[in-house]
Every structure is written in C-alpha cells, then in structure tokens.
Amino acid sequence: MRALAALRAYGAHADPSTRIANTIALLVGLNGPFYPAYVWFLVPEAGPYALATMAMSPAFLAIPWLSRRRVTAARAALPIAGLLNTVWAAALLGPATGVGAFAYPCLALALLCWREPWLMLMLLGAGLVAQQAVLHMPVVPLAGLAVTSQSLLESLNVTSVGALMAFAAITIAREMRAA
C-alpha cells in the first residue's frame, strides 16, 4: 500500500494532462522489466534481445520528475520516449513482431495530452514518420527470428498495445470525471 501511495504521489500533478502523462509513463516504465520476461517465456531465443528494451525504462520513470521542472518538456517526453522505444524494439526484434503497433498509443497520447496545436501536430508528424520507419525498416533486426517466433511476439505486442490503450482510456476518463 505504501508503495502504491508513493507512486501516486510521485505521479501527481496539478495539471490534468500532465497527470495523465505521468500516470502512463509510470505504467510503461514499471512494466519495462516484465516485457523481456514475457518475450523470453514465449520465444527464448529473443529473450536476450528483449532485455535491451529495458534501457528506456528510466526515461519513462523520469517523466514525473521532469514534470515538476518543465511541464511542456514532460508531456512531450512521453510520446517521444514511446516512439524511440518503438523504433529501438523494432531494430532489436524486427517489425514483423508487431512492435510498430506501439506507435499508436504514442500518436494518441500526442493528441490527447496537448492543448498547443503546433506541438500536437509536430508530435503527431514525428509519430507517423517513426511508424513508417519501423514498417519499412531497411536493416535486418538483431534477433533474426524465425517467422513462427515473430508471429508469437506479434500476438504479445498487439495484446500489449490494446492493454496500454485501454489503460490510457481509463486514465483519461477518470480525469474527465474528476474535472
């Protein structure tokens, strides 16, 4: 209970959009160590490569800290970190594993967490470019997985994206009810 209260306090912010960004950033950052475990369980040969995806967890976990210093930077950091993580995971595991689908929540967050249209459009454009880069990546992924292994990871990743989008929707709805 204390840990949950400490997390809530760490993610708290007076601005609702920033509070949403902080909550989602904490969820993603705290889930970082679990993703490699899921991958390792489903496709053991991809496990060592999936460990490298944890490198982005500290960036997500730092977003609430950043929000106390620079609100705009913190809200921009969430979709940017998510897009960088998406491209990084695609380089490691390959676009056929469905990791490119993680660009969708990043695009949605770029639209939902902003009141500044110019920044919203800039982040949306960056997200679309990142998504296309992942889909048409000209490099061979480091893991070099078989088609069956890629298919197993695609199911995991698409399910994870759905869960993340559902969590974001619940978080946003909770903020809207509280307003």
At 60 the pLDDT is: 95
At 113 the pLDDT is: 66
| Cα(76)–Cα(17) distance, integer angstroms | 11
| Cα(127)–Cα(80) distance, integer angstroms | 8
At 177 the pLDDT is: 86
Q: How many Cα atoms occupy the beta-carbon half-sphere of 138 within 13 Å?
A: 0
At 12 the pLDDT is: 92
Q: By CB neighbour count within 10 A (0-12 exposed, 13-18 middle, 19+ buried), where does 151 fall?
A: middle
At 123 the pLDDT is: 72
At 132 the pLDDT is: 77
This prediction's pTM: 0.86
| Cα(55)–Cα(20) distance, integer angstroms | 23
Q: What is the full per-residue pLDDT of the chain (179 aa) written as tens digits?
A: 788 899 899 999 999 888 999 999 999 999 999 999 999 999 999 999 999 999 999 999 999 999 999 988 888 888 889 988 988 998 899 888 998 888 888 778 777 766 677 777 777 777 777 777 777 766 677 778 888 999 999 999 999 999 999 998 898 888 888 87
| Cα(72)–Cα(67) distance, integer angstroms | 8
At 137 the pLDDT is: 67
Tell me the domain boundaries of the chain. 2-178
